[in-house]
Structure 1
């Protein structure tokens, strides 16, 4: 998370440079060009920091490079704070004046400009020197802090044996699906919970239930993730109901074809992993789905209550963590060949302690269970129990990407706050 510091501090420096107070002082002191060159240097470096965020995990040298940048950025903030002090000094003099012999009256504007010009150029030269080394990291520019994070596409199938501890949740969702809406609209049922709780798995289980299959003429599964584009989603839905699509197909042709396919049909759509908070986009998609027969339903899985409320006023099913017994069952299933755990009662006891650290999150349980699969030495299990989860080697489909997606959604200033928590000692 060192990049979060660097990115947000760089953002702060650029914001300070652009303020009216600095512009006024610079124009009067003749150092405007120095600050503009510094701003350009920082902007150029900032453009690659988002790419560095993803790559520093596997590159210690990149982490060191980011630490060096951060230090210089903070020095730049200190220099710009001196401008703020000077702006306040001039305001005081302008408003109240200064009596002969006071400190304020002895201030030398030319001396201040010369000193600040020297400091600004020094910082810019240090940044340029550090920036020379970025080529070795093969960084690319990314200009958008809220960039799209690619997640593996989900699908609609799940084995019954792969779902543990969600029977009550399943029945509640199915009960909602079986009751037709009263207002003529297509009701939206939202499944809400943090990453890794099993929202997608629950939706898959509901999707494949025989009662659901018999109740709806068409069942449609769409993995939405962060990119909520009406045309893209409409094409996915149209393709699922048997319609023909092409890459250059216009929005008008897509909507006409989709409405025709759904007309008077009772459909069930799952929109999995929705992040969109723009109500206008949702309304744009919803207008294409009104042709369905009475009883049509939509299930949305999301990590955000705000997203659920944006989608539509409808039932929200809050998914909570699994009970400890279910977590232990899931953990042992991933850690051992079936029945093998009976041969290792001491490992099972250690496993119980590991499971407690997972706070009922199935993805965390599965990740740690998989990590210990085929390991029968107590020291391996104790090592997992006594070490932090973030020290473990992570795979692309393990818990780290699931949590990182939530982390990446934070604005840069909140990422910095999150990183600052690392300063607090464990158990403080």
Structure 2
């Protein structure tokens, strides 16, 4: 049975190789005179000066692999949703980033200034997980009240006005009754919703995580822009976030330009792929061994190959582990016909 398990993992790895080769062939067709895109990078430890090439084939391949794995795993459209819950024992490779972000959130001095922090990076890099871990830290709990987690991922029943939907979700997370939210919307529209949000947060040292922020157009981008400055405009999100009591907002987004507009370029931090191969292996193993599944000894021989295919992306390692687990589970189920014989 063990050999069957290894064969199934090898088949899985070969599928990744196929995707990899296809993407490399596509990249060759695009390389004739096309310059690589460059974007500013800032790790969570702090801003980093200079430019770093993020248009490499490895990064593009990792993004496409992630999309491919998600497509294989879900045959119908799935609307992403996140919450504050996380199993910290299964979080690997983020320790230094968690400590750095915690130092930003809980300063040694009694700072009452408003903070807006942006965390950006490609899909599956660990933006949400990082915020989930920091959200549960006792020092953060002691420092902020209230603390709310607001997932802004698109949902099928969203308000057609993305700006209103954002504020409504924030009010819901603050415990405001649905009837009050509807009344504010019906009677005063966006301005009424923002005023209700402002009243809820006035005089409080709040922490708000806005996870997976996106926008449809320039009007949405303008609504989110400059959280720490534009408090006077009653039609912008900044109006609903009173300043002067140490309130903090953390924004996660795959859209770097949007995040820059929201928090300012100097407050923008980029998450990079995990460099420690053992962290990727641990993520893969945790995912593969969920339930009663145990990895075979032969799988260790594929460790280096699997780590290479992760490209430092936690989500990719997790998805690979999940697929490996399903393959292993299928191999361990004895067919009914064999049981009867």
- Distance, in Å, in 2 between the alignment partners of 1:282 and 1:181 is 29
Structure 1 residue 364 corresponds to structure 2 residue 316: yes
1:280 corresponds to which of 222, 230, 238: 222
Q: What is the 5 A alignment of 1:390-405?
A: none
Superposed displacement of residue 190, structure 1: 1.1
Q: Answer whether contact 2:284 2:320 (CA < 8 A) is retained.
A: yes
The 3 A distance-change label for structure 1 pair 330 and 336 is same
Residue equivalent to 2:163: 230
Query: 1:243, CA displacement in angstroms?
Result: 2.2
Instruction: Identify the structure with bigger relative contact order (alpha carbons < 8 Å, sequence gap 6+).
Output: 2
Counterpart residue number, 1:325: 278
- Cα deviation digits, residues 78-122 of structure 1 (max 9, x gap): xxxxxxxxxxxxxxxxxxxxxxxxxxxxxxxxxxxxxxxxxxxxx
Question: Following TM superposition, by how much is the alpha carbon of 1:292 offset from its aligned partner in structure 2, in angstroms?
Answer: 4.6
- Partner Cα distance (1:230, 1:338) in 2: 41
**Offset of residue 324 of structure 1:** 1.1
Change (3 A) 1:200 1:165: same
Contact 2:293 2:325 in 1 (8 A): no
Change in CA separation of 1:346 and 1:328 when aligned onto 2, cut-off 3 Å: same
Task: Rate the CA distance shift 1:375–1:243 in 2: closer, same or farther, 3 A.
Answer: closer
1:262 aligns with 2:201: yes
Long gaps (5+) in structure 2: 1-70, 226-235, 333-341
Greater CA radius of gyration, 1 or 2? 1
SS in 2 for 1:206: helix
Aligned equivalent of 1:191: 119
Q: Quick check: 2:194–2:237 contact (8 Å CA) kept in 1?
A: no
Name whichever structure is richer in helix by fraction. 1
Q: Aligned partners of 1:350 and 1:336: how far apart in 2?
A: 16
Instruction: Say if 1:334 and 1:312 are closer, same or farther in 2 by CA, change over 3 A.
Output: closer
CA, structure 1 residues 181+233, in 2 after alignment: closer, same or farther (shift >3 Å)? farther
How far apart, CA to CA, are the structure 1 residues paired with 2:247 and 2:108?
8
1:126 aligned partner = none
Match of 1:333, SS state, is helix
C-alpha separation in 1, matches of 2:137 and 2:297: 36
Find the counterpart in structure 2 of residue 205 from structure 1.
133
The two structures have a TM-score, normalised by structure 2, of 0.60
2:252 match: secondary structure: strand
Report the alpha carbon displacement of residue 189 of structure 1 after superposing the two structures with TM. 0.8
Alpha-carbon separation, structure 2, partners of 1:205 and 1:180? 20
Give the CA RMSD over aligned residues: 3.2
Query: Structure 2: how far apart are the matches of 1:316 and 1:356?
Result: 29
CA positional deviation for 1:332: 1.6
What's the offset of the Cα at 1:196?
Answer: 0.7
Where 1:357 maps in the other structure, the secondary structure is helix
Q: Relative to 1, partners in 2 of residues 1:357 and 1:205: Cα closer, same or farther, differing over 3 Å?
A: same
1:66 alignment partner in structure 2 = none
The verdict on how the C-alpha distance between 1:183 and 1:373 changes in structure 2, with shifts beyond 3 A counting, is: closer
Equivalent pairs counted in the alignment come to 231
Report the 3-state secondary structure (helix = DSSP H, G, I; strand = E; otherwise coil) of the residue aligned with 1:225: coil
Q: Tell whether the 8 Å contact from 2:86 to 2:132 is kept in structure 1 after alignment.
A: yes
> How has the CA–CA distance of structure 1 residues 337 and 294 changed in structure 2, closer, same or farther, with 3 Å as cutoff?
closer
TM-score by length of 1: 0.48
In terms of fraction of residues, the more strand-rich structure is: 2
Unpaired segments ≥5 residues, structure 1: 1-56, 59-148, 381-428
Task: For 1:26-425, list aligned pairs within 5 A.
Answer: 151-179=79-107, 186-225=114-153, 229-246=162-179, 247=182, 249-250=184-185, 251=189, 252-276=191-215, 278=218, 279-283=221-225, 284-289=236-241, 291-313=242-264, 314-322=266-274, 323-336=276-289, 344-373=296-325, 375=327
Distance of 1:268 and 1:181 partners within structure 2: 17
Aligned-pair distance for 1:345? 3.0
CA distance in 2 between partners of 1:201 and 1:337 (Å): 19
The answer as to whether partners of 1:239 and 1:245 remain within 8 angstroms in 2 is yes
- Distance in structure 2 (CA, Å) of the matches to 1:180 and 1:305: 30
Q: Distance in 2 between matches of 1:328 and 1:311?
A: 35
2:224 and 2:238 in contact (8 A); partners too: yes
Note the C-alpha offset of 1:339: 10
Could you say what secondary structure the match of 1:188 adopts?
Answer: strand
Equivalent-residue separation in structure 2 for 1:287 and 1:221 (angstroms): 19
